[in-house]
Amino acid sequence: MSEHRVHQVYLVAAGQFHDIDHARLELLKLLAETPQIRVKVAADYHDLDAIRASDVLITYTCNVIPTEAEQIALRDWVASGKRWFALHGTNSILEFLASGKVDAPARAPIFMETLGTQFLAHPPIQPFRVHVTDPNHELVRGINEFETDDELYLCRIHGKLEVLLHTYFDGAATGFVEENWSGNDQRPVYYIHRVGSGEVLYLNLGHCRGHYDMRDINVPFYPKVERGSWDKPEYYELLRRGISYCCR
């Protein structure tokens, strides 16, 4: 990026069932590595004027659902030529049903169509391998396939994606309404979704959860601290490259 060009980044970090404080802090530390980046932090998409005035949008959320007017504004902002770096649960709408299962209702269609995917389910957290789909792309060039113990996202796909990283899954996403996932198809992990003249970069790794992040479903103390890909050097390299790419 230009030596003296200041880049305005709008970071939305908020939501449920995740250690948002951990993710927010780690992202701010990465953004602080570049002095030209100035950051505004928010917990929602309500301040559309501030988003429109920004060069880059970065989001780490779960169950943060923009209004229809906000969905339209976000789509139009990206289409005008901007870049949105969406992480992990940004595309997640979760509803815990009386049956004990988790649903992912389609309540924000414009939002999901802009992002390019909507989360539907994930199997129990366990190690899986991340493969490089496009080894020549600058965002992943030189990064070897790696193993992580993150949430493996199974999604509904909207539009055409340029997939950079993928994994495979064939089996049951136990506990979700959309439970059965057959076929050894590629499951996107990192992709670019072009919207008008702009792009959404979506990296769905990055699960994290602390002891006190499940209180909304009456779990006062979650026994295991989960850090997922935040323990992997490859993840931090992907984040750094994504930030640099978006700020060009």
Residue that has been written with the tokens 């996403």 in this structure: 173
User: CATH assignment of 7-246, given 3.40.50.880, 3.30.70.2740, 3.40.50.150, 3.40.50.300?
Assistant: 3.40.50.880
Q: Report whether 111 contacts 71 (CB < 8 A).
A: yes
pLDDT the model gives residue 2: 57
pLDDT the model gives residue 184: 83
Check pLDDT > 60 for residue 65. yes
For residue 26, what are its two tokens? Answer: 């780690």
- Closest residue by Cα to residue 173 from 148, 156, 151: 151
* Share above pLDDT 90 across residues of the chain, in percent, rounded to a whole number: 97
pLDDT tens for 98-145 read 999 999 999 999 999 999 999 999 999 999 999 999 999 999 999 999
Residues 103-142 as b or e (16 or more Cβ within 10 Å = b): ebeeebebbbbbbbbbbbbbbebeebebebbbeebebbee
Q: Report whether 198 contacts 148 (CB < 8 A).
A: no
Residue that has been written with the tokens 């931090």 in this structure: 236
pLDDT tens for 171-184 read 999 999 999 999 88
- Strands 83-87 and 56-62, by their bridges, are parallel
Residue range 193-220: mean pLDDT, rounded: 98
For residue 147, what are its two tokens? Answer: 């193993």
For residue 180, what are its two tokens? Answer: 């059965």
Check pLDDT > 70 for residue 1. no
pLDDT the model gives residue 67: 98
- Domain regions of the chain by residue span: 7-246
Three-state DSSP class for 165? strand
With left for phi above 0 and alpha for psi between -120 and 50, is residue 202 left, alpha or beta?
beta
Residue 34: pLDDT band with limits 50, 70, 90 = very high
- Closest residue by Cα to residue 15 from 63, 55, 49: 63
Helix 20-31 with 233-246: angle, nearest 10 deg: 60
For residue 62, what are its two tokens? Answer: 């779960």
How big is the chain by its Cα radius of gyration, in Å? 17
Check pLDDT > 80 for residue 3. no
Check pLDDT > 90 for residue 9. yes
Check pLDDT > 80 for residue 219. yes
Whether the predicted model's global pTM rises above the 0.75 cut? yes
Residue 16: pLDDT band with limits 50, 70, 90 = very high
Length of the chain (residues) = 248
Beta-carbon contacts of residue 174 (< 8 Å; ≥ 6 apart): 123, 124
- Closest residue by Cα to residue 137 from 100, 115, 164: 164
Helix (H) or strand (E) holding 16: none
Residue range 55-79: mean pLDDT, rounded: 98
Residue 160: pLDDT band with limits 50, 70, 90 = very high
Residue 77: pLDDT band with limits 50, 70, 90 = very high
